[in-house]
Structures are given as C-alpha cells and as structure tokens.
Structure 1
Amino acid sequence: MGSFVIRNVLQVHSDQFEGAIIMGSSDYNPLLKPMMPVMEILNKVQPKRHNSVISSAMNIMFNAQLKDKKMDSDHAWLCNNPEAIADYEKDPLCGFDFTNNGYWTLLKLMQGGLAKDWAETIEHDFPMLFMSGKNDPVGYMGKAIPKATKRLKKQGFKHVEKQLYPSMRHEPLHEVENKKVYQDLLNWIEGQLEKSA
C-alpha cells in the first residue's frame, strides 16, 4: 500500500524529494476499473463497516500464487520469514480488516498510482529505485516491476532502476536474508547523495 501512496504523493510533490524508493509495488491492472463501481457503492452504503470478505479474498488470491507454501498463514504472501509473519499477526496494528472506506481509498490510490501515465507530472531526471521480491504476488510474481520501469524509461525517465530478489516476497526488508536488501538501499541512497552534493 505504501508504494501506491508514494506514487500519488510524487505526482504532486516530487519537487520536495531528491528521489524515491518504491518497494513491493505493482503495475497497471485492468481489473481495477470493474472493481471501482462495486467498492464505491459499498463505501456509500456502509463506509465504516469492516470488510472481512475482501480481506480474506485478497489473502487467498495472493497465497494461491505462491509455489513454495512453507507456512500455514493467511499472511504467508508477505515474506518467507516465519518470525516476521508471527510478529505481524500478533500486532493489533497489522493485518486487520479495512473498512469499506479503507478499501475504496486503497482502490483510488491504486487507480492513481498504477495508471500507465502515473508519472507524467514528474521531472524525467527524478531518480527512482523499484525493489521487490520475485515471488511477490502484488508484483505479479516478478513481472510488474520490470514492466513498470521499462514503461518509465520509454517515457523518458533517465534514472530508473530496479532490484528484484529471487525467492523473496512482498516485503524484502522482513526476509531472513534482508542484509543484502539493506545494503542495496544504502548503496543507492549514498549514490544519490554523491550525485546531489
């Protein structure tokens, strides 16, 4: 969800940043269009109602894409690390059912952030790093990030990079082998600081 938020923020405020790291993201999804009217009605009728049906459906859909199902958890799609998943499931601020308004807002963020022309208001020399696991169902199992970065380069963006991690899922920072991810983040940030110095 954070990647959809940052894409929407960049559309309006990219001049306030030196670059962006977009992690665990996705790409244009034609299924958003038919989902919008249904969610809009639910949002108008019962905006504050927590919707466990959508939460369950999303978890089932994401977990169904995993080839190596080592964990029996609704949230296994997040990462391969059983400790991180256990911590996530114990935390009352994680994994709860959104309200209808929450899902409506998420769809609006996705609609804005995943459109093919989502970055048209951003300067073409703005640096972006896209990172994700190759086994991230949100990122179409490693297919979304290459498509998104290729499109941005085709649109004239000069400093777009991608990093996909084999065997990692949606949240590479929570994987057992996350040291490489943190090192890649540090290297990219230091590289950007050197360029802007």
Structure 2
Amino acid sequence: MRESTTTIATGDGQELHVYRWAPDDQPKAVVQLQHGLAEHAGRYRRFAEALTGAGYLVYAPDARGSGRSAGNGYGDWGADGWPGWVDDVARLNARIRRDEPDLPLGLFGHSMGSFATQHFLLDHAGDVDAVVLSGSTEVGWLVPVLDSDEPADLSTFNAPFEHRTGYEWLSRDEAEVDAYVADPACGWEAPPLPGIGTLAAAADPDRVAAVRDDLPMLIVSGSDDPLAQGGAAIEVLAERYRTAGLTHVETQVYPGGRHELLNEINRGEVTADVLAFLDRTLTTG
C-alpha cells in the first residue's frame, strides 16, 4: 500500500487533511471513507490495507474538527457546522471524480460518517456507485439526542457494558479499546454541532424518495451496538430505503458485535463481507 496525503478546502475556509491509500497496481475502483465522531481517518489504515490489497484506491479525510484537520482544536466545527460536514463529503467526492473519472466509486461511512452519508445521498445519490453504512442507525430518534446545547458524552453509550475504561461499547477487543483511549485524537468531548437538526431530513420519506432506486447499499452493524437498538434500528433504516424504492439494500447484523466492527474480534469476517459487497457492486462485469 502506498500512502500519500492531500488537502481540500471547505466552503467556510477550513482545510481538510485527506489520506490517499493506493494499491501497488492499477486500481479497479475507489472507496471514499468517512469516519465517525471524535476519531480520525488514520485509524482506518488496517482496513485500507485490505482494500488496497484487493485492488481499491482509498481516499479518507480527517473530518472537520477531527484529526489533522482540527487546526483550531478538536471539535471546531467551523461556521457551517453540520451542513458544512455534509458539504465536505460532496467536495471530496467531486475531487475524487475529477482525479479518477474512469473508476467506479463506493462510499463507506462509519457512525457520524454514516449519518453524513445518509444526508449526502439526499442530493448526491447519483455521484456514488455503491454505499456501505457501518455503525449506523435510523436517525429519526437520534437527531433530538444530538441536537443539544450540551457537549456530546460518548461514554454514556457504555451503560450496558462492563466499565473498565468507559469505552467498552466500541469493541469486545480490549486492545482496540485501549488504543482508542490512549489516542489523544480520540474520545474528546464533542461540543454541540450547529445545524445538526437538518440531519432530520434523512428520516423524511419524501426526501429519501429522491435517492436513486438502483443504488446498491449494505448496512452492517453489531447486535450489541447501542445505536442499533438490538438490530431493530437497522431494520427500520433498511426498510426506509426499500420503501423509497431502492431495490438492492442488504443488512448484516453480527451477533455480539459492538460499535466499531472494523476493530471487533470478528473484524476479518466483517472486512471480507464488505469487500465481497464492493466486488459485486463496483467491479463485477
């Protein structure tokens, strides 16, 4: 895997740091990877190694206020807030399309990145060829939780689990949890995100109806991910897209899995399933 970096400018004057992970040979497709809240794209190198090993080119930004994009500190959402975050997905997507006009493009969004993906698809479903949502949920119930004047305390998701670090909800793999806790670019207290209420549009059936019917989608989750609500929220999400007319929506809920499936004890299985989906939808034929 060959690693390089680039930057893209946001609409409100920020600069996003973007990793570009390339296979040794000519890529067969591109994966745009959007990470979650209070983490960064560098955590996805292992997944990128699997993707590039399978022939995919990967673009992965540190989202606004995160990782190396956090020029003024973690959680600096900029003047455009959440709508800016969604627009950042579109700007990187357009950049990839310019750089790699002949390659199919898949979009992988995890957690907050999956919510940005859901929001992005309302107006840009024609700009991607396949979508994977990981650690996601039906956002109708979540928006009022996120749209608060108080900082987001991610450790509250740990209530159903043993309390060794406060982040056991992320994975059953203690080494992965410890690495997250030890990383100063992870787990920081996220300030309120201006404009997050607009995410409710992703739960509006009339808006979701604009997503093109032939867009392939895979939704992966762990049964013990607090956001999945035992898998029920995943089925509600999938059914929303199916009702809107999408004809290729797959779900996979892994028994016992927690929030970060790519860092779970069965991550090999999850990665293989995601690769198989991408191969079927981006490269077959």
- What TM-score do the two structures reach when normalised by structure 1? 0.78
Q: 1:31 to 1:130 in 2, by over 3 A?
A: closer
Q: 1:118 to 1:97 in 2, by over 3 A?
A: farther
- Counterpart CA distance in 2 for 1:117 and 1:22 is 21
Gaps of 5+ in 1: 43-50
**What is the SS of the residue equivalent to 2:277?**
helix
Q: Could you say which residue in structure 2 is the equivalent of 1:59?
A: 155
Q: Could you say which residue in structure 2 is the equivalent of 1:143?
A: 232
**What is the SS of the residue equivalent to 1:122?**
coil
1:130-161 CA-to-partner distances (Å, cap 9, x unmatched) read: 00101110121211111111222122210100
- Counterpart CA distance in 2 for 1:188 and 1:35 is 31
Q: Measure how far apart 1:90 and its partner are.
A: 1.1
Residues 1:125 and 2:214 aligned together: yes
Higher RCO (CA < 8 A, seq sep 6+): 1
CA contact (8 A) 1:4 1:25 kept: yes
- Counterpart CA distance in 2 for 1:118 and 1:24 is 22
Gaps of 5+ in 2: 1-111
**RMSD of aligned Cα (Å):** 2.2
Correspondence list, 1:1-197, <5 A: 1-30=112-141, 32-33=143-144, 36=147, 39=148, 42=149, 54-56=151-153, 58-60=154-156, 62-64=157-159, 66=160, 69-100=161-192, 103-105=193-195, 107-108=196-197, 110-195=199-284, 197=285
Number of residue pairs aligned between Structure 1 and Structure 2: 174
Aligned residue type for 1:24: G
Aligned residue type for 1:161: E
- What TM-score do the two structures reach when normalised by structure 2? 0.55
1:9-56 CA-to-partner distances (Å, cap 9, x unmatched) read: 2222221110100111111434634874xx3xx4xxxxxxxx5xx433
Normalized per residue, the structure richer in strand is 2
Aligned residue type for 2:249: V
- Counterpart CA distance in 2 for 1:152 and 1:22 is 12
Sequence identity percentage? 28
- Counterpart CA distance in 2 for 1:98 and 1:145 is 25
